[in-house]
Amino acid sequence: MHYPVLLISILLALGGCSNLQNASMESRQAELLELSSAESEEKSTLSMRLFPIPQSAEAPAQLAVQKDVTLIERAVKGFEWADYRDQEQVDYWINRYLSQLDQFEAVLDRAEPFLFYILNQFEVNDLPAELAFLPFVESGFRPEVASWSGAAGLWQFMPATGRSLGLDQDWWTDERLSVDQSTLAAIRYLSYLHSHFDEDWFMALAAYNTGEGNLRKVIRNNDGNTDYWTLKLNSETASYVPKLLAVVYILKHAPSFNLDLPDWPNQTHFEIFQADRQLDLEAVASHLKVEQQYLLSMNAHYPQKITAPNQSARIALPAELIERMDAILDSLPEVGPLSWTRYQVRSGDNLSVIADRMGVTVRDITQANQLKSILIHPGDDLLIPRPDVRISSQPVTSALASVRSGDSPWLIARRYGVGLSDLLAANDLNGSEVIHPGQLLKLPSQPSGDAQITHEVRSGDSLYDIAVYYGVGLTDLKAWNALGSSNLIRPGDELTIWLRSESQI
């Protein structure tokens, strides 16, 4: 996760350091404060000043394709860092990954759609090829994944950090989940950190994970010594660089471990298609005969599965389908109108409680109702936005859930790890009916995968890391193991995991 660079506490922490190279501390603090308080139309210009895109970023992303190497071979040939296996933490993670090599391969397989684009962008910006595998550690190469702390996307940006880097976030769009926009933002942020930590990539990575201010505090407590391996870092950050180095080491020495690296062609996998109209992603997938889940994952920056109204749509498509998309664009159906739920504020309510109850964010409510503050009063009417619910065919059911006070269908679906549309279909609900405490709802019987495995929790494991490693949802993982809202697990615990056929290991 990456903590916002705009927090006042970070500004204060920056004050005791002397290695800023491009501006005085006073002017930098002023710039950050200016960015934090700027109007939206000013943020882009200020963001560019603080986190400038290197000149080479304007170069064509499509470099000359080397036909004589695979994509992974190209990446490995670009590796320049030393092995560092003599470092205890690096050796630990190498052995850890090797002991679960099938899982390592499963995560690596998810890199295929993104790696060519990432490598190209990193090459034109003179970033190390090793950093192209940072999403292996951050998100397991899943653009739609979000952590419990709020970090999201391939590069796991926190909301404020994403906004400071120019990534739009609202009810319709979250560019932290955009494959291309988030990658360009990662380049800007990593380049910025590299230049402000004496051009030391390990220090830049540590700052990327724990935050600039936190790292500078660690440096001060280390008598100013900036040797990465001597720093007393928190456990997550202490393992962050070793994890990446372990991934790189295994890829470099794959034949020694009988690891057959994928033979993906060294060519573009996706291209960005732009349209001056709103698009329904499920309709696009159907018309192009593309697997729906694949298309939604590649375009996770549209969380409502439809692009924003009154804006040009930008969707990632397999490169070979760009011409086909252009041909069918006019035949795609118009996006249906947005539906709304009216909510009357009750005594004791606040926006956070209402957002959780209704399955939206506080930002969704404030924007939909043009609220200037978070102050609301009992009796106020609020509009809760949502797209029309698409109901799936009736699933088989085998269990019941009792509705609790304050429940909504979305909360029940999340609690039991089932799909909202499946829950609505199982109970002949269209999404607008009121449900009441004590009411019994049928739960769809949907084994969340085709193969059940057991994972034994090890020291250093977290639920989020385990979910990313197996390519499953954190909510699903908690539901399968009856963990409720708790994230507490201990070494030796056994967790049940359901794997779908395409991700079995």
Please answer whether residues 498 and 476 qualify as being in contact, where contact means their C-beta atoms are separated by less than 8 angstroms: yes
Please answer whether residues 465 and 489 qualify as being in contact, where contact means their C-beta atoms are separated by less than 8 angstroms: no
Alpha carbon distance 323, 120 (integer Å): 23
Q: Nearest-CA neighbor of 20 among 196, 213, 193?
A: 196
Take residue 107 and report the two structure tokens written for it.
């995560």
Range 38-59 burial, b when 16+ CB lie within 10 A, else e? eeeeebeebbeebbeeeeeeee
What's the length of the chain?
505
314 forms bridges with which residues in the sheet? Answer: 274
Alpha carbon distance 328, 287 (integer Å): 8
Q: Return all residues near 71 (Cβ < 8 A) that are at least 6 apart.
A: 112, 115, 116, 119, 262, 264, 265, 266, 267
Given the residues 41, 58, 88, 138, the one annotated as active site: 138
3-state helix, strand, coil in the chain (%, to 5): 45, 10, 45
Q: Return all residues near 369 (Cβ < 8 A) that are at least 6 apart.
A: 382, 383
What's the half-sphere exposure (Cβ side, CA atoms, 13 Å) at 423? 21
334 is known as an active-site residue: no
Please answer whether residues 449 and 496 qualify as being in contact, where contact means their C-beta atoms are separated by less than 8 angstroms: no
**Which are the catalytic amino acids?**
138
